[in-house]
Amino acid sequence: MFKRPILSGRPTVAEIDLEALAFNYRQIRKRVPKRTGILAVVKADAYGHGALPISHKLEELGAEYLGVAISQEGVELRRGGVKAPILILGGIFPEEEEEVIRNDLTPVIFEMDSLVRLSKIAGRKRKKIKVHLKVDTGLGRLGVPFDQFPVFLKELKKVRNIEIEGILSHFSMTDREEAYSSSQWKKFQEVLAIAREAGLKSRYFHMANSANLTFFTQYSGNMVRPGIMLYGSYPSPKIEKLINLKPVLTLKTRIHFLKSVPAGTRISYGGTFSTRRESLIATLPVGYADGYSTFLSNQGEVLIRGRRAPVVGRVCMDLIMVDVTDIPGASKGDEVILIGRQGRERITADEIARKIGSISYEVLCLIGKRVPRVYR
């Protein structure tokens, strides 16, 4: 079942399953109204999966928009040949306007200064610039404050060369406090009503992220913004019962070195683990420089020959050690799964997140650039 591999170079890789991405996209598509568009979030290098190949696949699948956090991410996609509309969710900074316009990127705006700067440049270029206007309905992060929105609209009327293509906000809660989500949605509806009364027309209005488009489909607007669920992880354990997803990323390596040690042998820095019996210890070529968290020291697990093996000792920058004493036939070169499935066993990013007191988003985003992404 588990064949001895032929080694070629450092074997630590992140394998990306584009068919799993397509499956997840279609699962999400089924959950939202037919005429509701999908803005696929590919910020942070598509949550560590590789933004350019992921974006091309999402274009192929029919995503109406792509979402990045900063303008640099959008520029990189354009240089890589991505044609779909790209929304800069985190807004733009001074002196980025020229690059944004040159690369046909759509910024999210929540400050009048940004609009004025964009307007001046657009005027010189004799063109209109599309933007999406963000209002803070309760997350307390970015956005025109809800109670200041009417005043902001009055100032907006003075700005030329700008097309408000969309109005958006962002939910704060996921699977709890529906009352709070409901109150945010109510505020968002008030925002849209105020905009209509002021004569402001926009093509899109959107607010729902992965969790909310699953729990509260009535809050979808006419575009939704799935992120983590595209990659096969769940923003809340409760969502696992509502939608079937396939993990897109498998983090794997191979046994680099094996040694048999007597009872009482200390393993790794600080000697935080000591063998209680004669043990077979495998060293793996992966560490915290690759994004394998130090919080997994003495509590992480990996899969070898379809069985779980515990991480022993502290996670090092480039290496970790695992105890393979109870894995019959464990050999140098054996495939090791750190995130993913092997045989009947599976380790998910969500499982790792629970162990280190984090979230799957961080687990995936931490996987470093020196880990090659291999697409299939």
Residue 132, C-beta contacts closer than 8 angstroms, at least 6 positions apart? 87, 106, 107, 108, 109, 164, 165, 166, 167, 168, 202, 204
How many CA atoms lie less than 13 Å away from 317 in the CB half-sphere? Answer: 0
How many CA atoms lie less than 13 Å away from 173 in the CB half-sphere? Answer: 15
Active site residue 269: yes
CB atoms closer than 10 angstroms to residue 66 = 25
DSSP 164: E
Active site residue 127: no
Residues 274/264, Cβ–Cβ less than 8 Å: yes
Among the listed residues 92, 173, 82, 94, the one whose alpha carbon sits nearest the alpha carbon of residue 132: 92
CA distance 236 to 261: 42
CA distance 85 to 40: 11
CB atoms closer than 10 angstroms to residue 25 = 21
Long-range pairs, 364-370, Cβ under 8 A, ≥24: 364/47, 364/48, 364/49, 364/231, 364/233, 364/249, 365/44, 365/45, 365/47, 365/48, 366/48, 366/291, 366/293, 367/14, 367/48, 367/249, 367/251, 367/290, 367/291, 368/289, 368/290, 368/291, 370/289, 370/290
Burial (CB < 10 A; 0-12, 13-18, 19+), residue 124, is exposed
Structure tokens at 184: 């945010």
Which candidate in 125, 269, 332, 369 is catalytic?
269
- Angle at CA of residue 45, ends 44 and 46, nearest 5°: 90
Coil vs helix vs strand at 47: helix
Which candidate in 43, 57, 187, 252 is catalytic?
43
Return the active site residues. Answer: 43, 269
